[in-house]
């Protein structure tokens, strides 16, 4: 049994990860400022003796004694990370610095939740880990993209200079139950719109592509990377099945039985045209690959949103 810190543990991916770690018998400390996280995501864990919730902002240093750190704290939806972009930079840079300082002090292994956004609007397709990316340094997405890139830089400098035991996961679009109703990312937006009978807002012509990974696969990948010996990454974690956004909209309408119309809204600036992970490295080094396809994952996600919207 290990003592494991999960920053952002009250968020979408974090809360599923916390559950999986508790199920493996670990002690879990969840560090949260509840910017985009939700107490409801972890309410059912509060009474458990091996679970502890710490309200704290990663931008501020903290002293804790742990064996492992999963650093997930950071708003992930463009709507939320652009709300206060300077804060997003601080969370990625100062937050990661603080967590690396903690890991160094107590000799903990630390995993950074990086992102496919480090590849920007990629000119290499599918994206492999050796691609350096195509990122606008001054655009609306830069606070997140460059923030995550600098977080990776810090991870590798602490590793080289201080021997910190690091793991870097480049997470591609992940979806599933517990995404916030107001999250603003595409899967949750489309599912909510379809269930409420509102128009489905496809940005641009919907020909841009994404590859959607179901949450249980992502949690398994993150844990496999943390447990892998002698492998820092960076490693892509995602589902390589690529869809256009228009295809996703049509699939959601079909699966919900919704009467919602599909409408087109302006494409946000710097929206990546295509994205698909090459997961050869994860498959080879971690024996990991996604098992849940889009239809199965969407069915679970739609059922969860249906239930929550009915409660509201
Ligand atoms: P999320 O917004 O649901 O979760 C992020 C959590 O971090 C929230 O609970 C939020 O309250 C917390 N947080 C934010 N700033 C904080 C701060 N300064 N101090 C403490 N807590 C803070 O998003 P998610 O989808 O669960 O993403 C989790 C991590 O995975 C993020 O680092 C994100 O960048 C990364 N990621 C996610 C995806 C995806 O598709 N879901 C893709 C790439 C990378
Ligand atoms: N998108 C869309 N309608 C929405 C929300 C998003 O068409 O209501 C598009 C968005 O422009 C992008 C894709 O869906 O091309 C994925 O967007 P998301 O915000 O989920 O993630 P990211 O752009 O960071 O991959």
| Mean per-residue pLDDT, 25-45 | 98
Fold of 3-175+212-239+276-291: Rossmann fold (3.40.50)
Residue 186 confidence (pLDDT): 98
Give the separation between CA 179 and CA 72, rounded to whole angstroms: 15
Could you please report the per-residue DSSP string of 91-139? Answer: HHHHHHHHHHHHHHHHT-EEEEEEEGGGGBS-SSSSB-TT---B--TTS
pLDDT at 63: 97
217-233 tens-digit pLDDT = 999 999 999 999 999 99
- Going from the Cα of 55 to the center of ligand 2, the distance in angstroms, rounded, reads 30
Please tell me the predicted confidence (pLDDT) of residue 19: 98
What percent of the chain is modeled with pLDDT above 90?
A: 100
DSSP type of residue 277: B
Q: Euclidean distance between the first and final Cα of the chain, in Å? A: 38
Residue appearing with tokens 């996961």: 169
What digits encode the pLDDT tens for the residues 196-218? Answer: 999 999 999 999 999 999 999 99
Distance 271 CA to ligand 2 centre (A): 8
State pLDDT tens for residues 248-290: 999 999 999 999 999 999 999 999 999 999 999 999 999 999 9
Separation between Cα atoms, residue 207 and residue 243, nearest integer Å = 9
Q: Nearest C-alpha to atom 23 of ligand 1 is from which residue?
A: 76
Ligand at minimal distance from the CA of 192 is 2
The stretch 45-69 carries a mean pLDDT of 98
Q: Is 195 in the pocket of ligand 1 (CB under 6 A)?
A: no
Q: What per-residue confidence (pLDDT) applies to 312?
A: 81
Find the 288 Cα to ligand 1 centroid distance in Å: 22
Model confidence, pTM: 0.98
Say whether 144 is catalytic.
yes
């Amino acid at each position: 049994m290990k003592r494991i810190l999960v920053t952002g543990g009250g968020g979408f991916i974090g809360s599923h990860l916390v559950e999986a770690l508790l199920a493996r018998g670990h002690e879990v400390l969840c560090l949260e400022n509840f910017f985009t996280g939700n107490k409801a995501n972890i309410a059912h864990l509060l009474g458990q003796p091996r679970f502890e919730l710490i309200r704290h902002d990663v931008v501020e240093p903290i002293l804790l004694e742990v064996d492992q750190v999963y650093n997930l704290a950071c708003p992930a939806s463009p709507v939320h990370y652009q709300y206060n972009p300077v804060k997003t930079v601080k969370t990625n840079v100062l937050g990661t610095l603080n967590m690396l300082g903690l890991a160094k002090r107590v000799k903990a292994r630390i995993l950074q939740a990086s992102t496919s956004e480090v590849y920007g609007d990629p000119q290499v397709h599918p994206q492999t880990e050796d691609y350096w990316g195509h990122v606008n340094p001054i655009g609306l997405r830069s606070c997140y993209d460059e923030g995550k890139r600098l977080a990776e830089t810090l991870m590798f400098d602490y590793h080289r200079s201080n021997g910190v035991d690091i793991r870097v996961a480049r997470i591609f679009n992940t979806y599933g139950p517990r995404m916030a109703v107001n999250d603003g990312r595409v899967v949750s937006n489309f599912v909510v719109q379809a269930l409420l009978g509102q128009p489905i807002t496809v940005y641009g012509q919907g020909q841009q592509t994404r590859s959607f990974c179901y949450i249980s696969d992502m949690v398994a990948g993150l844990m496999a990377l943390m447990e892998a010996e002698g492998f820092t990454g960076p490693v892509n974690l995602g589902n390589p099945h690529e869809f256009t956004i228009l295809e996703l909209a049509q699939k959601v309408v079909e699966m919900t039985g919704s009467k919602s119309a599909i409408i087109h809204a302006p494409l946000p600036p710097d929206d990546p045209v295509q994205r698909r992970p090459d997961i050869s490295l994860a498959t080879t080094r971690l024996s990991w690959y996604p098992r849940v396809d889009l239809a199965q994952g969407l069915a679970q996600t739609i059922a969860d949103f249906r239930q929550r919207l009915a409660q509201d």
